[in-house]
Amino acid sequence: MPMQYRTLGRTGIQVSPYALGTLMFATAMGNAPEESARIIGKALDAGINLIDTADAYGDSEEVVGNALRGRRDEVVLATKFGRPTGQDPNQQGASRRWIVTAVENSLRRLQTDHIDLYQLHRPDPGTDIEETLAALTDLIRSGKVRAIGASQTPASDIIEAQWIAERRGLARLRTEQPPYSLLNRGIEREILPAAQRYGMGVLVWGPLGQGLLTGRVRQDRHNDLRRAGMMRHLTDERRLEVVERLIPLAHEAGIPMTHLAMAFTIAHPDVTSALLGPRTAEHLDDLLAGLEVTLADDVLDRIDEIVPPGTDVGTLDQAYQPPALQNPNLRRRPLTARSAA
């Protein structure tokens, strides 16, 4: 069956419901560039046309750029900026100074003259959003970038960015990239409605719960992932308990756990694409086999009972935490101003 493409927000760009995330293609993650190129080729041959990377993913941009030689025009190429890429404190963030440097670095590594979607990797509270949008607008006008977006943006910041773009005549954020899975449905409360209101495409990451929804991590099994303690969420008992309730549901539906998880994410009408993060060609084959799976209403109702809409079960290790949650001093008055308990 031919790939059924979807429009990326109101950009007019057609993208596949599965997109290829490339964090695992960095050589530091253990994959040889030749194997990563083989996976990318297999994904393109299957009809996946959206590839997402970032300047902070080690040498992932270089691996992707080499793999796309001769096939660049087949791809909607997305990358991100904003996370630290070196020890220099100015080699990060969303200032004009860094953006104009970061985009040139990404273009060189990706071996292309333009980026189809350029995204702010994390919110940068220290930079005025008007400065960021103005710099990104100039990149669009110069032809180096086709569309702009952001990742893990709070709903209030999405709205603020849209208002400023309209009032200042600047380019609008066209996409948002939040985490979304059977375990993390918090974006259904405010993020997805805000994106829908402004016609933004939504590219969700972590649809497999960063490993928990593969069925390989179980509450009663201490496999290598759990023993290594690679990520805190892999040992979060709340999340593991929910997984144990979802596994029988997948079994009753007659599909693998991975297919249940992926079908759930792309079933939401406000989700454009879900990012896959395969480490091997076999992982990609497994996920592609579930592309045509659709979940019946009774299955979706059961999911709603296990994880109510708009709620998160625990927190992903890589999820953005705003300064007010990271810094206790931002939510506590000075001691001298507080009465003694």
Strand partners, 118: 79, 148
272 three-class SS: coil
Cβ-proximal residues to 191 (8 Å cutoff; 6+ apart), any chain: 153, 154, 155, 158, 176, 178, 202
180 included as an active-site residue: no
The CA distance from 120 to 37, in Å, is 26
Torsion from C-alpha of 282, 224, 22, 262, nearest 10 degrees = 60
CA atoms within 13 A on the CB side of 246: 33
> 291 to each of 44, 234, 263, 298, how far by Cα in Å?
14, 26, 7, 20
Q: Enumerate helices (H) and strands (E) in the chain, giving the number of each.
A: 12, 10
Residues 6+ apart with CB under 8 A from 40: 20, 22, 25, 51, 64, 67, 68
Q: Determine which one of 5, 18, 57, 320 is catalytic.
A: 57
SS3 of residue 162 by DSSP: helix
- Amino acid identity at 135: A
User: Residue 299, SS3?
Assistant: helix
Active-site residue set: 57
